[in-house]
Amino acid sequence: MKATKITIALLILSASAYSQKSAPKKIKPKAEFVAELMAKMTVDEKIYQTVQFTSDGTVTGPKTGDNYITRIKQGKVGSILNATGAKATREVQRINLESSRLKIPLLFGHDVIHGFKTIFPINLGMASSFDPKSVELAARDAAEEASSSGVHWTFAPMVDIARDPRWSRVSEGSGEDPYLGMQYGIASVHGFQGTDLSKYNTILACTKHFAAYGAAEAGRDYNTVDMSERVLRDMYLPPFKATVDAGVKTFMASFNEISGVPSTASKFLMRDILKGEWKFDGMVVSDYTGINEMIAHGFAKDEQDAGQLALNAGLDMDMVGAIYMNTLKKSYDEGKVSIAVINDACKRILDVKYDLGLFEDPYRYSDEKREKETLNKPQFLNDALDVANKSLVLLKNKNNILPLKKDQKIAFVGPLVIDEFHIIGSWAAIGDRNGFAVSVKEGVANVLGASAKTTFDQGVEIESTKRDLMAAAIANAKNADVIVAVMGERENMTGEAASRTNIDLPGLQKEFLGELKKLGKPIVLVLLNGRPLTIGWENENMDAILEAWWPGTRGGDAIAQTLFGMNNPSAKLPITFPRNVGQIPIYYNHKNTGRPYLGPTDPEQKYKSKYIDVDNSPLFPFGYGLSYTTFAYSNLKISAPQVKFNEKLKVTVDVANTGNYDGTEVVQLYVRDLVGSVTRPVRELKGFERVALKKGEKKSVTFEISSDDLKFYNIDMINTAEAGDFEVFVGGSSDADLKQSFELVK
């Protein structure tokens, strides 16, 4: 008994010692503390808080390049980008505090996009789970790791609505839908920031890229955006607003212009909407040299012009551009920027430093002991597997070829079958690309053990025209019962500055599939990619297709567990798969037009909004995804035929598991506003729920719709719902055909 008491006492002592080590000294409340600090600061010192430099660091920690250290020693830096590592950040912070007259700590930022050391599926993959809890869990684990490694601030979530898979950054977001994007953004902010930013395991989130970056013309990264304010507000801004309501503390401006004004200096976006209408009290950082780029945009005549335009428009911090450092004091002296806007920017930056507890303990995030205990924690690795299993989308499964049987002879082929490098995708922070991630081959071995009757051959490379490996792969495939082809893109064919005009499987991969097809054996295609691909031929010729995106550190385990039925795929597409590039932009929440084409049964086949060479329908629609089991929807009911503006409409539906496997279905609710003062989309996602059903089980699912859910920017640009007729659709994709109608009445 006594020993136990001593043990408990020791545990309490060590825990309190641990917390005391990071226990902050008490300082005054934020408003008072920041006001007193600013009262002591010179104009120069206030301007230097708005300056961010990169550590020239790689993601494994900063190389100590001299320029940013020199500037820190001159007291000219408020934040550092890309410095990671408890030891490295502690050293940089020490240098800063020794140079800082007023001991103002540096803010360390890094792109922790889908994991820090333990890498989760890319965001488009996590969005496929339609599971905000998984998104929040991934962000929470990432914050635990990053905050133990000196990182105070992540440049995530990226909530750019994306309707064009040529655009390489579709991989970083949650696809084409505003409602899904809202849920994704909220979950991410909650995961990263938690409920108390002063805790040492919570970090600042940063909603980006503000705004409409994903609408770049022709899907070419950084390209021009031109859209009506109505489309901007109805389709692109809701996820941004949702994160403000969720308490996000920072935003990042986007590189693009919108209708002639670069976001980096858009008063409309940053002062009128973000800080005005939405009452955002956090801080806005530019994207990387975004201020400098206004000269190329033709919006600023020189760096000083660019700097004063940006600051006056509400941009608080200059990422890496050195323009605020070099020109703001001159602009201030010349009366081009006021002390009020300088004070506003500086205060917003000091406020978030205060929120993080950095004034109380500037080193609290740079704790080597905690870092060692936290990175790649088994729990995080298990979470990464669980989230990956929920992110795989089954696109085709002819004759239920999947799941595979463990005693089958299986030929695994393809350029990504043994890959441990690409599998964690782009923007993978300090994720290990040298063997730590689980390849498909390793995942299969973990399921089958070494005795399996399996072969593994690359056959072709991702992009090269080399054919020398093909013959050996085909020879092995000849002896197999089933072929599994693991194919896709290089990880850096998506992410920043990697747009493609041709989104087929690259290289000779399709040719190799054609050779394999000649063997007359069933072929399962597993895709590892960061965007929808044009896979029409593959859909015709493969027996099964599993869209795995970039599934992360445990990706090979998730793929293998899914192929062999230990995991029943449940994910749905967060973005439309086009039949070909010519259909782009193609998305489910489109307008009807005056001549809607009703498909092959349309009595009018000529004068309709259609193509003469390809059907209007996508290859796979938004919200689509199969399971190893089947689900049947029935009994769609609404609580009343009419609903008032201050009432809620209940929508209920029965969902039954009618197949042979336990599974989970993402039940989706869509609404159509039939007539408006402006035209309305043919469908809009307004609810979804993951419903687990054992085989044979049936459940009733209920959604609620209020008039708030039906709001849009009307002909007078007022955000309101309008009385009139509506339809609701419920089902397992945006093609859901179970329908009811109701009327919204004053």
Beta pairing class for 738-745 and 482-488: unpaired
Q: Which is nearer to ligand GLC, 248 or 337 (CB)?
A: 248
CB of 119 to ligand GLC, least distance (A): 17
DSSP 464-527: ----TTHHHHHHHHHT-SEEEEEEE--GGGSSTT---S--SPPTTHHHHHHHHHTTT--EEEEE
Q: For 529-614, where are the alpha helices, taking DSSP H only?
A: 536-541, 555-563
Secondary-structure percent of the chain, ordered helix, strand, coil, rounded to 5: 35, 20, 45
Rounded CA-CA distance 652/601 in Å is: 31
DSSP state of 575: S
**CA 437, 569, 555 angle in degrees (round to 5)?**
5
Minimum CB distance to ligand GLC smaller for 217 or for 333: 217
CB-nearer residue toward ligand GLC: 54 or 408? 54
Exposed/middle/buried for 399, CB within 10 Å: 0-12, 13-18, 19+? exposed
Cβ of residue 84: shortest distance to ligand GLC, in angstroms? 12
Q: Which of 48, 53, 153, 155 binds ligand GLC (CB under 6 A)?
A: 155
Distance of closest approach, residue 738 Cβ to ligand GLC, in angstroms: 40
Query: Cα–Cα–Cα angle for 629, 630, 631, nearest 5°?
Result: 130
CA distances from 253 to 44, 56, 99 (A): 24, 22, 30
- Looking only at residues 170 through 209 of this chain, which bind ligand GLC when binding is defined by CB under 6 A? 208
Q: Considering only residues 273 through 292, tell me which ones interact with ligand GLC, judged by CB under 6 A.
A: 287-288
Closest CB to ligand GLC among residues 248, 682? 248
Give Cα separations from 294 to 108, 289, 609 (angstroms).
Answer: 26, 9, 39
CB of 254 to ligand GLC, least distance (A): 8
Q: Please say if 361 is a catalytic residue.
A: no
* Contact between residue 14 and residue 369 where contact means Cβ atoms under 8 Å apart: no
User: Is the CB of residue 175 less than 8 Å from the CB of residue 181?
Assistant: yes
Nearest alpha-carbon partner for 412 in 466, 448, 464: 448
Contact code string over 582-601 relative to ligand GLC, x by CB under 6 A: --------------------
The two structure tokens encoding residue 612: 């003469």
Report the site for ligand GLC in 704-733 (rule: CB under 6 A). none
The Cα 566–Cα 75 span in angstroms is: 56
Angle between helices 378-389 and 555-563 (to 10 degrees): 50
DSSP string, 159-217: ------TTSGGGGGS--S-HHHHHHHHHHHHHHHHTT-TTSTT--B-EEEEETTGGG-G
How far does CA 573 lie from the centroid of its chain?
Answer: 14
Residues making up the chain, counted from first to last: 746
* Cis previous bond, 15, omega within 30: no
Give dist(CA 346, CA 738) in Å, integer: 54
CB of 658 to ligand GLC, least distance (A): 44
Q: Which is nearer to ligand GLC, 155 or 240 (CB)?
A: 155
> H/E element holding 410?
strand 410-413
**Shortest distance, position 209 Cβ to ligand GLC, whole Å:** 6
Q: Which is nearer to ligand GLC, 497 or 632 (CB)?
A: 497
Question: What six digits make up the tokens of 580?
Answer: 């070909």
Q: How many CB atoms lie within 10 A of CB 91?
A: 17
What one-letter code names the amino acid at 598? L
Strands across the sheet containing 318-319 = 153-154, 107-110, 79-81, 51-54, 318-319
- To ligand GLC, the closest distance from the beta carbon of 253 in angstroms equals 10
C-beta of 427 vs 703, nearer to ligand GLC: 427
Measured at CB, which residue is nearest to ligand GLC? Answer: 155
Residues 103-122 that bind ligand GLC (CB under 6 A): 111
Q: What DSSP designation does 381 have?
A: H
Q: Provide the angle, in degrees to the nearest 10, between the axes of the packed helices 339-355 and 30-40.
A: 130
Distance (Å, rounded) from C-alpha 712 to C-alpha 235?
9
> How near is the Cβ of 110 to ligand GLC at its closest, in Å?
8
Q: Is 684 in the site for ligand GLC (CB under 6 A)?
A: no
Residue 296 CB, nearest distance to ligand GLC (Å)? 15
CA distance 629 to 546: 15
CB of residue 273 to ligand GLC, shortest distance in Å:
20
Residue 496, interface with ligand GLC (CB under 6 A)? yes
CB of 206 to ligand GLC, least distance (A): 8
Q: Does residue 257 interact with ligand GLC by CB under 6 A?
A: no
Total Cβ atoms within 10 A of residue 623: 26
Nearer to ligand GLC, 107 or 527 (CB): 107
Query: Of the two residues 225 and 438, which places its CB atom closer to ligand GLC in the complex?
Result: 225
Binding-site size, ligand GLC (CB under 6 A):
6
Instruction: Tell me which residues in 555-584 interact with ligand GLC (CB under 6 A).
Output: none
Let me know: does 666 contact 625? Beta carbons within 8 Å: yes
Write down the least CB distance from residue 250 to ligand GLC, Å: 11
DSSP state of 676: -
In Å, how far are 49, 53, 123, 254, 475 from 66, measured between CA atoms? Answer: 20, 12, 35, 29, 56
Closer by beta carbon to ligand GLC, 221 or else 432: 221
Catalytic pick among 234, 287, 383, 543: 287
Distance in Å, CB of 292 to ligand GLC, minimum = 12
Catalytic residues: 287
Interface residue list for ligand GLC (CB under 6 A) = 111, 155, 208, 287-288, 496
